[in-house]
Homo-oligomer: A and B are copies of this chain.
């Protein structure tokens, strides 16, 4: 305990290890007891630090969730890799991405409800529309861009620029439904994904039809208008 203990394989900053311990303890406890039932005191104890020290690293309980959020996203990207490589049609590729999402988040169903509660708060960095979460949003859209790019379905150029973002928003809606889904094995959400992916595919194919051009233009114009999100204060 008294040795200097030089940094061997870990060139990380001083308390970086402590931070990791706290995150690990929190995720473990969240998984086991859910978000609400896990107190900061429990996290601190499990991580072997004091309550105040835990707050030194994470200014709020919500902030601990951000770590979770990122972990889930990375797991989703990883899980989707193989199915995406196998699926060729747009329908199958979208279905693969959504089904992977569902599989990845399932273990957290209980505690995701509370996570979402925080995510809906505009002041929370967990909120999908919050600037701090912009990178996660962009990465989420990127996954859908990949799903689109690998398919043989033709997408009108104007829509192609907006579609990944639209699909990411769609996936948030599915997650919202999933949170409230109390059917066994989340069958309701599974069904919903099947149905809506089919609808999305139909819609994308219809989008090339000249009849729908005005409608498509409306959507694209709206999306472009919404993009910049000037972060004026209240």
Contacts and interface: CB of A to CB of B under 8 A. Distances in A.
B233 A182 contact: yes
A198 B211 CA distance: 16
B225 A195 contact: yes
Contacts of A206: 211-212, 215
A129 interface: yes
Interface in A109-135: 109-110, 113-114, 116-123, 127, 129
Interface string A140-158: 0000000000000000000
A234 interface: yes
Contacts of A226: 192
A120 B116 contact: yes
A160 to B, nearest CB: 19
Contacts of A222: 192, 195-196, 199
A209 interface: yes
A199 B225 contact: no
A234 B117 contact: no
Contact of A121 (B109, B114, B233): B114
B116 A121 contact: yes
A9 interface: no
Contact of A113 (B121, B219, B231): B121
Contacts of A122: 113, 179-180
Contacts of A211: 206, 209, 211
Given A182-B230, A199-B219, 19 more contacts: A113-B121, A116-B120, A117-B120, A119-B120, A122-B180, A129-B180, A183-B230, A192-B226, A195-B225, A198-B218, A199-B215, A199-B218, A199-B222, A202-B214, A202-B215, A202-B218, A203-B215, A206-B212, A206-B215
